[in-house]
Structure 1
Amino acid sequence: MSKSARFFIGAILLGGLFVAFQAWVVFEPAEIEWINFLLLATLATGTQLLKSEAPYYQVYHPSLVFFFAGILILQPAGFVLLVVIAHIAEWVKERLVSQEGLREWFLQPFNAGMHIIVGALARLLYLAINPNYEEIGTLYALVGAGVVACVYVALNHLMVGEAVVLTRGIPWRETGVLDIENLATDFVLAMFGYVSAALMTLNAWLILPAIAPLYLINRSLAVPELKHRAESDPKTGLWNGRYFMQSLEQELSRSMRYDRPLTVVLADLDYLREINNKYGHLAGDAVLTGVAEILRKYFRDYDVVARFGGEEFAILLPETEPENALPRIEKVRAAIEKTALEAPVIDKTLNITMSFGLAGIDKEQPTAQGIIHCADLAMYAAKDGGRNQIRIYSSDLAGLGGRPGIDERMLNG
């Protein structure tokens, strides 16, 4: 784990402890509504054990409903205890049932600290909008809950996203943390928490029949993972050909409208087939994943790096002329050439090289397929020239024959 990742996680843990201590200093046991606390604690703990996996080890829980309700109707200390109990239960469950869930020791403590910090800020904002916090059914309360839900969800996702970026080395764009669908899902959960809190102020037991829709909500939490699977390559975690083509069409439309450059890079691993034949396909898969990690390191958040089958990769570089992209692609080529890729299945390290073809917008054929065809011709020229090379498309390559069916493979990848 990097120093910046350790610092960020440590800051969240210390911040959570500080907020928890401040909450306990002002705790008044006589003022707590114990039935509300016990019901929320039971429901939050139960739903914390239900999780929906999302890309890059993100996990969504319907317990957000009860955490948000706790912000609105519990004392700060009660909310802290609510969060801690739920995350301890999750930690115990993962330890007993699934070692896979304990990938890192800090997951549950980090999440608990994050909810405690964001919950404290959300409560302060809610009280500023609705000073009469006991009157939860008023218009001020409704508006306050809506504003606070937006802030709570946004801060939650920003913290989770930063943790994913720092600990996994994943670009912000690929995390999906700030996708509208993901934010909207948590906002709905938070507002459902407001409704639950309002019902509990009338009669605490009304929350029990009100939680029936959580079944449907919990199923909807699987949508981000399903969407990511449909757009990504399962072996490398990069985007797939279909997503690449969609991104290229959109970016090309923008580039043509505003007269801005873009570059498409097609890359092909040299002699991967020989590695597969000599060491087996598991060794070849290790090479693919190792190369994918290298590619991730060298491109910007808004670049699109994709694999669309076999040993073929594609990269979309917005706002970039092919000549300006050349130095960066050379760094990538050199990094792949000198990196010894781990192949645990054969207990060896393997070396491989890569050939690259670059193309910008073809004025005669300003279409996505036209750019891909030009980049493909350039890549084939690099392969024919001895491999482990980079070629930029020029008109003298127009007469060469590229690989048949490349457009179809990208569309179906």
Structure 2
Amino acid sequence: MGERGSARRLGQWLRSAALAAMSPRARAYVITVDALYLAVVAAGLATIDLHLRDGIVFVVLIALAIVSIETSLRFVWHRPPGGGSSNDLLAVWTLPVALLLPPVYSAVVVVPLMVYVQLRVVRRAPVKLFFSIASTGIAGYLASSVHQAFFPPNTVWTAATLAGSSRALLATASCVVVRYVVNWVLVDEVVALTKPGHRRLALLRDRENLGVSAAEACMGILVALAYATSLVAVPLALPPVLVFQRTLLIAELRHAARTDPKTGLANATYWREVAEREVARARSGGEALAILLVDVDHFKAINDRFGHLIGDEVLRAVARGLTHGLRPRDFVGRFGGEEFVILLTGSDAEQARHAAERIRGHIAGLRVETPLHRESVGVTISVGVAAFRENGHSVLELLDAADSALYAAKRAG
């Protein structure tokens, strides 16, 4: 009975970890990165010369990071749905470790912090937690190694050695760039292997994310400079970090209020808000505008046969497919259930019909895997088209016309 219970718990752990559900390539990649991290830590610990002051700095920075997490939970995050802010700003405290201490400290500092976040903020599958530790730890180790290569051994860190010359600034900048880019690349690869249709290195094209990361890095450098003045000055960075985190949270809450959680597209309320503005602009400026109303064919049959989890995967696949080939100014939203809506600014009826056919053909080529049933699901959609002025002069009229066109398309097969 005990062995059977242990086997059952192991099976539950493997399912929660999602390692067994990964493709062979993804599984091999995750295991390789995890093994590389363990090798890096082992090699670093075997060669490190321990110094009391390094240990004190290490513990102080971890303690401040934990204080930041706890204070954020009480006064910033207020435990919103989903486990809090994704912008935890932990790099404010871990980047100084890369700048001030031997590389192995940068590899291991993420362990207590991410485990603490796991226990206090958001639960992740074990495989995701360990991969996050591994990718961030490897990135920190490499970044610290690059920084240390600019200086002789046993350098005493002062404001001058950290930022007092062009060489010092280059060393600091190199450390920051290596840390972020290596981590992004490692994470991006596993996402690409586990999520079909993922746009590689999308984070590097996300201006908002780059701006937050740059601000986070600058605050981390300032913490290191504060240490160069006095270790007692380091806690002074805590209030600005919390204020910055609160600002980020407001932006995240605004984004969450506008986003459909299942597909990541605009929700119906926000889509309608944007559409009203664009229709008003088209009315006053004489511009063309069209709306596409999209419905997933036979969606109830997919849910009934494969279950709602596969149904959700179908919705996500369709959401990704709808954005394929659209212009940056076109706006896609989830209208509700299996219906989606697309706002085509600057497009007349003929252009909208061409766009609808292009999207319909692309979606028809999608396949959604169903691991438990060992088969893939094909997806088709029906599309209704409505053009501004030709089919209506308001969002409501356009949606009504697109809805009629949609059901005419469904009846026609």
TM-score range, shorter chain: 0.5 to 0.7
Shift in CA distance, 287/107, structure 1 to aligned 2, threshold 3 Å? closer
Contact 1:83 1:115 in 2 (8 A): yes
1:295 CA drift (Å): 0.6
Partner of 1:380: 404
Matched, 1:314 2:345: no
Partner of 1:226: 253
Partner of 1:293: 316
The 3-state SS of whatever aligns with 1:211 is helix
Letter in 1 for 2:61: L
Contact 2:147 2:171 in 1 (8 A): yes
Matched, 1:17 2:17: no
Matched, 1:90 2:113: no
Shift in CA distance, 47/56, structure 1 to aligned 2, threshold 3 Å? closer
1:48 CA drift (Å): 5.4
CA distance in 1, matches of 2:275, 2:174: 33
Alignment match of 1:101 (pick from 106, 119, 123): 123
1:382 CA drift (Å): 4.5
Contact 1:71 1:123 in 2 (8 A): yes
Partner of 1:33: 54
CA distance in 1, matches of 2:109, 2:53: 13
Letter in 2 for 1:20: V
Partner of 1:202: 229
Partner of 1:326: 357
Shift in CA distance, 83/237, structure 1 to aligned 2, threshold 3 Å? closer
Letter in 2 for 1:25: A
1:39 CA drift (Å): 0.8
Contact 1:125 1:148 in 2 (8 A): yes
Contact 2:188 2:201 in 1 (8 A): no
Identity %: 23
Partner of 2:239: 212
TM-score of the two chains, using structure 2 as the length reference: 0.64
Shift in CA distance, 265/192, structure 1 to aligned 2, threshold 3 Å? same
Contact 1:72 1:197 in 2 (8 A): yes
In structure 2, runs of 5+ residues without a counterpart are: 1-21, 282-288, 371-378
CA distance in 2, matches of 1:223, 1:302: 32
Letter in 2 for 1:101: R
Q: Deviations over 1:7-29 (max 9, x none)?
A: 44333312322322232232001
Letter in 1 for 2:60: L
- How many pairs align? 353
The 3-state SS of whatever aligns with 2:384 is strand
CA distance in 2, matches of 1:327, 1:218: 42
CA distance in 2, matches of 1:174, 1:33: 35
Partner of 2:162: 136
Q: Which moved more, 1:308-317 or 1:183-192?
A: 308-317
Partner of 2:6: none
Matched, 1:71 2:92: no
CA distance in 2, matches of 1:323, 1:194: 52
- Listed as ranges, the matches of 1:250-265 within 5 Å are 265=292
Let me know the Cα RMSD of the aligned residues: 5.1
Alignment match of 1:184 (pick from 211, 215, 228): 211
1:69 CA drift (Å): 0.4
1:133 CA drift (Å): 7.2
Partner of 2:176: 149
Q: Which moved more, 1:145-154 or 1:107-116?
A: 145-154
Shift in CA distance, 247/124, structure 1 to aligned 2, threshold 3 Å? farther
Q: Which moved more, 1:13-22 or 1:28-37?
A: 28-37
1:216 CA drift (Å): 0.8
In structure 1, runs of 5+ residues without a counterpart are: 254-261, 280-284, 341-351, 390-413
TM-score of the two chains, using structure 1 as the length reference: 0.64
Contact 1:153 1:183 in 2 (8 A): no
